[in-house]
């Protein structure tokens, strides 16, 4: 079963927002050099790809990984969300 989050991500017409990031000049210059080698038109597309890749990894880890299974088990045992969130922050 495909999750609602994944289904939403597959929709190309979803709302967009603009953000401002402060990134060191040398990092931007490196991305400009690497982007064409990875098949991107520019560094901004490469940056979006990097963000998406990291986000997919983290979502998979926290949705399907051992951490998610442990959190689900703790919730079943009645451990409060605030205690789980505090423990998660301490471990990270």
Residue 6 lies in a domain: no
pTM: 0.63
What is the average pLDDT across 30-40?
97
Are the beta carbons of 59 and 5 closer than 8 angstroms?
Answer: yes
The most confident of 4-18, 19-33, 57-71, by mean pLDDT: 19-33
- For residue range 40-78, list pLDDT tens digits in order: 999 999 999 999 899 888 888 777 778 888 888 999 999
Are the beta carbons of 92 and 86 closer than 8 angstroms?
Answer: no
Count of domains in the chain?
A: 1
The answer on pLDDT for 3 being more than 90 is no
Residue 10 lies in a domain: no
Q: Directed axis angle between helix 43-64 and helix 66-76, to 10°?
A: 40
Residue 19 lies in a domain: no
Per the model's pLDDT, the better-predicted residue between 53 and 7 turns out to be 53
Quote the domain boundaries for residue 69: 24-91
């Amino acid at each position: 079963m495909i999750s609602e989050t994944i289904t939403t991500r597959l929709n190309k017409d979803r709302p967009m927002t603009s953000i401002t990031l402060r990134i060191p000049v040398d990092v931007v210059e490196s991305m400009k050099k690497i982007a064409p080698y990875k098949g991107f038109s520019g560094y901004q597309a490469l940056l979006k790809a990097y963000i998406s890749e990291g986000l997919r990894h983290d979502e998979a880890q926290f949705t399907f990984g051992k951490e998610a299974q442990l959190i689900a088990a703790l919730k079943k045992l009645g451990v409060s969300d605030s205690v789980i969130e505090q423990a998660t922050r301490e471990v990270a």
